[in-house]
Structure 1
């Protein structure tokens, strides 16, 4: 009652310590019934504790239910919701890694020069610029938070946002096929294989169009003289 009426911190600590073994037991039950090994037991327990703490804050003995009866569905729900969000996050990270590998392979498709240091550096620089352009393009994608990964400095955030908008405006100057590939890949985060099926092209052709599109964007930024990415 002290926790419910006065928000007593000492009472909260005593109750959480008392019911922690129960939350652990619920986590162990769900962990034992897992269908895959994507998460460790500690992650189950972490979300179970979240559910326990929420139950302690919301429980009222006036409703007549025992605390464990009240808390059990909330502890289980907290675990299921937390693991679902964690799974979605892992899937998105995995997708971005696969897309990044695809992009880099596309940009480095041609054999790098041997025996000519200046040409090799220029080719490596072109690949680096292509990767940087890709990062900017994806920054305005549908599945990406506009502010994700931006510096804390407010002026820098505005500059980057404006730069991204400039790059996407330049995409309008690409050929129709290049534009389709760039939009599907960076706005909708589709891998080359899915784009190939949608556009009825080979995967190799999609990779080639991706490379051509980024090279053309690079040329357009140099010609325009307004996008710092070109330098």
Structure 2
């Protein structure tokens, strides 16, 4: 069932083109003269058609992953692209020309949006795994021990972000966009950590490289290495701690952990 209340109201066209009596003239003024008022009138006139196509696809959906607004948003994008590419002199009706582009824009947009949501969900799950791995026991009540424990967790997460080449590292680079030396320093730090991974134990290195460089979850790492997920979590924590020790033993670096 299509929820008509979820659909945006149809905007009224300018009085000058209210009835769209001279559509050919509108296309001529837009295509040949670039008249924005003519373009706006055509958009408003065909917006109901884009809405109808969005409603059809929304009604045929197999899952409730997205609301009608998302369908309508991508349908509008397709309509605008079709309107800017349409050539009335080819003798093809605009609706015929626009239908494929509007449907294609919806399918492409929804697919990209779905992939992005899946990636965000995966990264959240992986972040939860990392925190649980680094927090070996319930956090202590003593303030000093609590701060030390939180600091250790923070260091482990920071090392992971640098290894991964995203998150903290990307944010840091953005914040020093005008400082080429600092960006280079961060990149060198990342390379140093990856080099030090070669000095981990074989199992630790496999877990760290699979999880951070190949973006594989602990569960899948466990399946590939034929280990328990708990053992993978332990190897992850051990590997990050060993990396920190190795870093402290190497030459000083301006980036402090």
TM-score > 0.5 by shorter chain? yes
Where do 1:201-220 residues align within 5 Å? 201-220=227-246
Alpha-carbon separation, structure 2, partners of 1:5 and 1:182: 60
**1:41-84 superposed Cα distances (whole Å, 9 cap, x missing partner):** 11111100110000011111122110001101100000000000
Q: Is the 8 A contact 1:129 1:229 kept in 2?
A: no
Q: Which has the higher contact order (CA 8 A, sep 6+)?
A: 1
Q: 1:166 aligns with which of 167, 182, 192?
A: 192
Structure of greater Rg? 2
Q: Give 1:119 deviation, angstroms.
A: 2.9
Q: Is the 8 A contact 1:132 1:229 kept in 2?
A: no
Q: Give 1:178 deviation, angstroms.
A: 0.5
Aligned to 1:226: 253
Aligned to 1:88: 115
Q: Give 1:202 deviation, angstroms.
A: 1.2
The alignment's TM-score, normalised by the length of structure 2, stands at 0.82
Aligned to 1:130: 156
Q: Could you list the runs of 5+ residues in structure 2 that have no partner in the other structure?
A: 1-27
**1:93-149 superposed Cα distances (whole Å, 9 cap, x missing partner):** 00000000000000002344454x333322221111001111111226xxx9x9577
Aligned to 2:219: 193
- Give the 3-state SS of the residue equivalent to 2:64 in structure 1: coil
Aligned to 2:124: 97
Q: Please, which moves more after superposition, 126-135 or 7-16?
A: 7-16
What's the RMSD between the two structures over aligned residues? 1.9
The alignment's TM-score, normalised by the length of structure 1, stands at 0.90
Aligned to 1:53: 80
Q: Please, which moves more after superposition, 73-82 or 213-222?
A: 213-222
Q: Is the 8 A contact 2:186 2:255 kept in 1?
A: no
Alpha-carbon separation, structure 1, partners of 2:40 and 2:176: 39
Q: Could you list the runs of 5+ residues in structure 1 that have no partner in the other structure?
A: none
Q: Give 1:38 deviation, angstroms.
A: 0.9
Aligned to 1:44: 71
| Number of residue pairs matched by the alignment | 225
Indicate whether 1:74 and 2:106 are aligned. Answer: no
